[in-house]
């Protein structure tokens, strides 16, 4: 593990060393609270670096909320074709500029940091000449430091012989570790609760995701209580600091993104107000200064005028043709004489 995480182990131990130098100069190098504050500010330093990915994660969640109805339609439309549904989902995400891995990035980045810190703390043991960036004096300082008799690199379930080797006992460990476990569990619960409360409509569109989020809201605090029996005091401090930071960060970033969305909404409203609209009862004006209906009326009149036939001349049928032979035969003299004879 050391060779695999060496690129993280040294930076993590260096940050811990830096903060211990600062707080050790004030409280004393072997003071347990100086080491506890060093662990807290190690967490704060690392989480400060991860603020930008966390902000991107929250923005991606808000974007997902906008096209949540489309996601639900795709699920219903392609519920029997998972491959096609995955393709359409990927296409929809690319159109809206959403990276599905963006929401997992902050959590994924914390895993190697947590493992590295755990490994660094485990290497603080009696007789060690060094521990990454810490020399022998730094190792001895950490081993001698305690909080109300509990050593930072030890945990409750260690054998009594090992605890005695570090100069502590199980009772002292329980007095400090159990309150930390309870506080860490409560902080975990409220962190998960806020996360579920602020959950986007995109995830709520999937009932399974919503159910899993609520399930984790209760399982994660229980996990903190159980795992606390097997974790060093310093790791419990790390866990507590991490949850406190997450709780404050979610509150801060939520306000920030709400303000961004409010500004975008105001810009859209101002853009709509700036667009000229016709007054009530006024017809829309086209290029040229005339109302559209007048232009259309003039055009229709011109077309009707062109299509209207000219008035026929006397004796001419409509269409411009002269009267037929039948009409001409009615005016012949022979015909008129025969009609007069019959009348007599």
- pLDDT of 73-90, one tens digit each? 777 888 777 788 778 777
The sign one gets for the Cα dihedral 166, 238, 174, 35 is positive
- 342 falls within a domain: no
Between 4 and 184, whose confidence is greater? 184
**Residue 233 and residue 154 in contact, taking contact as beta carbons nearer than 8 Å:** yes
Instruction: Specify the pLDDT at position 34.
Output: 96
Instruction: Specify the pLDDT at position 3.
Output: 60
> In angstroms, rounded to a whole number, what is the distance separating the alpha carbons of residues 194 and 84?
34
User: Residue 146: which H helix or E strand, with range?
Assistant: strand 146-147
Instruction: Specify the pLDDT at position 328.
Output: 46
Instruction: Specify the pLDDT at position 158.
Output: 93
Task: Read off the pLDDT of residues 46-65 as tens digits, 9 standing for 90 and up.
Answer: 889 888 877 877 777 777 76
**Phi, psi (deg, nearest 5) at residue 147:** -120, 105
Is the pLDDT confidence value at 116 over 70?
A: yes
Is the pLDDT confidence value at 231 over 80?
A: yes
Instruction: Specify the pLDDT at position 309.
Output: 52
Closest by CA position to 120, among listed 272, 257, 17, 254: 17
- 49 falls within a domain: yes
> What does the pLDDT average to over 171-188?
92
Q: Which neighbouring-strand residues pair with 285? A: 291
Is the pLDDT confidence value at 22 over 50?
A: yes
Is the pLDDT confidence value at 185 over 50?
A: yes
By three-state DSSP, how is residue 131 classified? strand
- 85 falls within a domain: yes
Instruction: Specify the pLDDT at position 211.
Output: 76
Is the pLDDT confidence value at 314 over 60?
A: no
Whole-number mean pLDDT of the chain?
A: 77
Q: Using 50, 70 and 90 to split pLDDT, how confident is the model at 300?
A: very low
**Residue 72 and residue 61 in contact, taking contact as beta carbons nearer than 8 Å:** no
> In angstroms, rounded to a whole number, what is the distance separating the alpha carbons of residues 85 and 226?
40
Lowest-pLDDT choice from 98-102, 137-141, 333-337: 333-337
**276's tokens:** 């000229």
The pTM of the whole model exceeds 0.75: no
- 265 falls within a domain: yes
- 58 falls within a domain: yes
- 114 falls within a domain: yes
> What does the pLDDT average to over 137-141?
93
- 281 falls within a domain: no
Instruction: Specify the pLDDT at position 26.
Output: 95
**233's tokens:** 């005091």
Number of domains comprising the chain:
1
- 227 falls within a domain: yes
> In angstroms, rounded to a whole number, what is the distance separating the alpha carbons of residues 318 and 285?
41
Domain boundaries, position 13: 6-270
Q: Using 50, 70 and 90 to split pLDDT, how confident is the model at 213?
A: confident
Between 123 and 92, whose confidence is greater? 123
> What does the pLDDT average to over 186-203?
71
At residue 297's C-alpha, the angle toward residues 294 and 298, to 5°, is: 90
Lowest-pLDDT choice from 32-36, 193-197, 305-309: 305-309
CA distances from 64 to 102, 203, 215 (A): 12, 8, 22
């Amino acid at each position: 593990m050391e060779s695999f995480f060496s690129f993280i182990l040294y930076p993590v131990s260096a940050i811990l060393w830096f903060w211990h130098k600062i707080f050790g100069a004030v409280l004393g190098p072997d003071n347990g609270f100086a080491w506890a504050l060093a662990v807290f500010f190690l967490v704060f330093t690392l989480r400060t670096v991860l603020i930008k990915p966390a902000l991107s994660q929250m923005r991606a969640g808000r974007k997902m909320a906008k096209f949540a109805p489309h996601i639900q339609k795709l699920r219903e439309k392609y519920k029997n074709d998972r491959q096609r549904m995955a393709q359409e989902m990927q296409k929809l995400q690319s159109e809206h500029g959403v990276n599905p891995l963006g929401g997992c990035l902050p959590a994924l980045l914390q895993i190697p940091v947590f493992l590295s810190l755990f490994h660094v703390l485990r290497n603080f043991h009696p007789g060690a000449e060094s521990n990454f960036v810490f020399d022998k004096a730094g190792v001895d300082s950490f081993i001698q430091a305690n909080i109300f008799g509990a050593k930072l690199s030890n945990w409750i379930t260690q054998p009594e012989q090992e605890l005695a080797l570090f100069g502590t006992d199980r009772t002292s460990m329980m007095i400090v570790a159990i309150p930390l476990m309870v506080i860490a569990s409560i902080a975990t619960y409220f962190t998960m609760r806020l996360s579920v409360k602020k959950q986007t409509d995109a995830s709520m569109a999937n009932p399974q995701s919503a159910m899993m989020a609520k399930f984790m809201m209760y399982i994660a605090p229980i996990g903190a209580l159980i795992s606390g029996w097997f974790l060093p005091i310093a790791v419990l401090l790390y866990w507590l600091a991490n949850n406190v930071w997450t709780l404050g960060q979610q509150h801060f970033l939520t306000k920030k993104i709400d303000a961004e969305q409010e500004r975008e909404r105001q810009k859209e409203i101002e853009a709509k107000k700036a667009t000229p609209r016709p007054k009530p009862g006024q017809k829309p004006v086209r290029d040229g200064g005339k109302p559209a209906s007048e232009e259309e009326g003039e055009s229709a009149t011109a077309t009707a005028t062109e299509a209207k036939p000219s008035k026929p001349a006397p004796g001419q049928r409509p269409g411009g043709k002269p009267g037929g032979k039948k009409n001409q035969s009615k005016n012949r003299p022979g015909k008129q004489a025969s009609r007069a004879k019959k009348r007599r």
